[in-house]
Structure 1
């Protein structure tokens, strides 16, 4: 070992280098995942444990009304997200979730027995290529 670098200096330099490379690797994976998202995300609206409706989360404003014998909720789709904008449930807890956009985010309305979950990108259409095998 030379007099310029001591053992502690080399460990520090290697540690900083490994940290920088791991951060670059994580960043690269995030960028690659963003490139794979092809369409608008979708949300699944479940009522009483069954799929009531699946909607595409677009930038354009749309409304979805859910009515059951227990009451109603009106959902607003906009800015590639979904939120509850009107409900006749007594507690109004479903409003506290706000606009959800990311996969695995949920809105729960217990009196309506409704769960809205963002599921990521829509399933590919018949025109899209799923895989290429050589």
Structure 2
């Protein structure tokens, strides 16, 4: 058998294996087993972060409008400014915690996928030699 024929047979086997893997992936997706970002990263968490960002922005504008009521350099204006800053800081801190949690989950998910990819690549490399472009 010619070398190019053997290569085609191996390529066909690889394509069939990839096809089986893709069909399994499609079945997992349709059955709900597959999640886009892993089990810890949900769209609810992402929505929560977005809502917290919007809430913080609205609070900032509302508090600024409230601040305009008080006269220039009054004691009341300084007190209200300090209270407003405290509220904004607390909301920003909560948003930071939520984003940190989401980023950590996403980083772990990407790292796990990368390790799976490396493992799969090692399996492929141990099974057959790398591509030889001179055979084409």
TM-score, normalising length: structure 1:
0.32
The structure with the greater share of residues assigned to strand is 1
Structure (1 or 2) with the greater helix fraction: 2
TM-score (norm 2): 0.31
